[in-house]
Structure 1
Amino acid sequence: MHVTMWGFDVDLDERLVEGAPDDLRAQLAEYELGERQTFDAEVQIPDSFTGKVMKAMLAIPYGETRTYGDIAAELDSHPVAVGQACGRNPVPLVVPCHRVVGADSLGGFSAAGGVDLKQALLTHESADDPEQTGLDAFY
C-alpha cells in the first residue's frame, strides 16, 4: 500500500495488517489529521529478531520516544542491530519505528523521505511541546 503523508511517500505491506486496506487508509488519514493516536489493526509480527523489535516499537506510546539503546537493553541486544531491525519494519507508521531515535540524534529512517519524514512524524506527535518527547535536543 502506498500512502502520502505530509508530502512524503510511504509504502506499507498491508498484507501484514489485518482488515480492509480502505480501513487502514482511513485510519492513516485520521492519524495525519491528528484525530487518531493508535491504529485499530492487528499486525502480523514475524517470529524473528525484527519481530521482537516491532513488538517493542508497538509498546512506545504516542508522543514518546525510546533510543535504539533502550530497546537493545530490553532485548539483550546491540543498538546497531535494533536500528537495522527498525529499517526492516514492513509497516512504518502502524508500527512506529519513527519513535526510536539515537542517543544524540534522530538516527535514520528507511522510508522515503528519510530523516525529514521521521522528524515530521515526531513533530506531529509532540504537538506544541517538543520537550514532551525530548525532541528539543534535535532542533
Structure 2
Amino acid sequence: MTDTLAFATAETPLGPLLAAVTGDGVAWLDFRDGPDARARAVRALRLPVVADPARTAPVTAALAAYFAEEARDFDVPLDWRLYSPLQRQVLETLYTTVPYGALTTYGEIGTRSGAGVPAQAIGQVMGSNPIPLIVPCHRVVSSTGLGGYSGGSGVEVKRWLLMFEGALPATLDWDPAEGPRS
C-alpha cells in the first residue's frame, strides 16, 4: 500500500498544533494549523492525504496528556524520513538523552551526538526540526542564554515550554493554562 498522510489538530495553551502522521509515525508538527501549514507538510512529505482518526488519535492523546501534566514523554512512533543524516544523529541524541525538565546547550548536544560540527550548526539543526516539541529542541539553549526558537511565535514559546516543564523558574505572571504572551 502506498504511504499516506493523516492530519490531526490538538488544542493546547499554545494554540492549535497540527500533527502530520504517516504510516510510520509522526513526521511533522506545526505550531499553527490551517491551509498554509497543511500545504507545507504535504509539500515536505509528498504524500496523499487521508482521513485516519485511528492513526492520529495517539498523537493527539499524547499532546493532551503532556499539556495536562499527565505525561512527560511522548510515547508515539516517529517518522524520521525528513531528517538528513546529520539532523537525525543530533536530534535522536536529543530525543533519547534530554528528558522533560532538563536543559542542554547546543555545544553539549553537538559533543554528545558526535556530530563534529560547531554549536552554531547544532542551532541550525534545531531550527530545522520538523517535529518540534515531541523531539524537544526547546530544551537546547545557548551557553549564554535561551538561544533562538523557530516554533510558534519564537523564543517566548521556548521560554513558556521551559517554565511549563520546570526547567526555568516561572515568572510571577505565568499561568500554565495560558499560552505565551507575545
Structure 2-normalised TM-score?
Answer: 0.64
Equivalent pair of 1:10/1:111 in contact (CA under 8 Å): no
Instruction: Extract structure 1 runs of 4+ deviating beyond 6 A.
Output: none
Q: How many aligned residue pairs are there?
A: 131
- Aligned residues: CA RMSD: 2.4
**50, 69, 82: which one aligns with 2:107:** 69
| DSSP-derived class of the 1:90 partner | coil
More helix by share: 1
Structure 1 residue aligned with 2:91: 54
| Residue identity matched to 1:125 | E
Shift of 1:104: 1.4
Q: Indicate yes or no: 2:65 matched with 1:30.
A: yes
More strand by share: 2
**Percent sequence identity over aligned pairs:** 32
Q: Which structure 2 segments of 5+ residues have no match?
A: 1-7, 27-53, 170-182
Q: Indicate yes or no: 2:76 matched with 1:41.
A: yes
Distance 1:84 1:13 in 2: 22
Structure 1 residue aligned with 2:13: 6
Equivalent pair of 1:12/1:92 in contact (CA under 8 Å): no
Distance 2:104 2:94 in 1: 9
Equivalent pair of 1:9/1:112 in contact (CA under 8 Å): no
Structure 1-normalised TM-score?
Answer: 0.81
Shift of 1:44: 2.3
Distance 1:68 1:82 in 2: 6
Q: Which structure 1 segments of 5+ residues have no match?
A: 127-132
